């Protein structure tokens, strides 16, 4: 048996297992195998994803991460995961400053640990070009005899935003699995159902690509506000209520000038430390 030191964290209920790279090397498993094993909620620790900090040898970022979903697939970005990652690497002194840069599959992401304990992450520009999302289809799909107007947005990973007046969580549970795998999205997609509460507040539920229903999705919250602004449904500073808590999204972009960074602010909390036995 091998003991692996792990840390469990969550951002608004979107939960992750963290381990140092040296601990990962003890496992003799691929990242795909380890993520499926350790994230299993019955036979493992239970989490939406596995995150491992990695020393970055380039000069354009301070640190790198490995991020894997619970189904063993890698993901380009995760907003809640990035907030937790930022807290983890700062507290472990893997970085020595409160503003730093992280190399991800979605590019360089820049988080900041605020004095009030929240984490503010510059998530970069949204991607709206179909071929880059990637998205290949129409802005309307039919699922289970129900028509949906869809709004594809990428935050380094693909999202399908659907505005509804019904309960977002019920809609995500019912229709999310089919939309995630819809042929319009060649790399599959995260699916967000969104109810507009006011110009500065929305309710959102998500069916995450590679995870299923989760309590929160940071990139989904960002994509939601981008789509809401582009459709004149909200202002540029929005509280996004998720099943696991709330985050704040700022985007000063518009339909005529979308090349503006999206900022995500929210909590990152520890759950526990443990020895995981392989």
**Residues that are catalytic:** 78, 217
Show the DSSP H helices in 40-94 as ranges. 79-91
Distance, C-alpha 231 to centroid of its chain: 22
Peptide bond between residue 150 and the one before it cis (omega within 30 degrees of 0) = no
Total number of residues shown for the chain: 278
The dihedral sign for the CA sequence 271, 273, 275, 278: positive
Q: How far apart are CA 85 and CA 43, in angstroms?
A: 24
Residue 20's CB is within 10 A of a number of other CB atoms, namely 18
CA terminus-to-terminus distance, the chain: 5
Contact, 8 vs 272, CB < 8 A? yes
């Amino acid at each position: 048996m091998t003991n692996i030191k792990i840390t469990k964290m969550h951002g608004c209920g979107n939960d992750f297992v963290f381990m140092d790279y040296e601990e990962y090397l003890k496992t003799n498993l691929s990242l795909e195998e380890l993520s499926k094993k350790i994230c299993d909620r019955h036979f493992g620790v239970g989490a939406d994803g596995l995150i491992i900090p990695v020393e970055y040898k380039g000069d354009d970022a301070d640190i790198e991460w490995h991020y894997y979903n619970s189904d063993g697939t890698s993901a380009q970005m995760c907003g809640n995961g990035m907030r937790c990652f930022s807290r983890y690497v700062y507290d472990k002194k893997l970085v020595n400053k409160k503003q730093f840069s992280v190399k991800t599959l979605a590019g360089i992401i820049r988080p900041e640990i605020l004095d009030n304990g929240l984490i503010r992450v510059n998530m970069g520009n949204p991607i709206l070009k179909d071929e880059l999302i990637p998205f290949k289809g129409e802005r309307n799909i039919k699922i289970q005899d129900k028509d949906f107007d869809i709004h594809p947005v990428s935050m380094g990973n693909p999202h399908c935003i659907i505005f509804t007046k019904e309960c977002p969580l019920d809609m995500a549970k019912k229709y999310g699995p089919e939309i995630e795998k819809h042929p319009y999205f060649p790399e599959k997609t995260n699916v967000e159902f969104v109810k507009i509460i006011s110009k500065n507040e929305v309710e959102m539920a998500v069916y995450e690509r590679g995870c299923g229903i989760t309590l929160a999705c940071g990139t989904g919250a960002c994509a939601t506000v981008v789509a809401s602004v582009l459709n004149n449904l909200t202002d540029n500073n929005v509280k996004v209520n998720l099943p696991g808590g709330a985050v704040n999204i700022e985007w000063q972009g518009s339909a005529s000038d979308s090349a503006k960074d999206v900022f995500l602010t929210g909590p990152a909390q520890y759950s526990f430390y443990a020895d995981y036995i392989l």
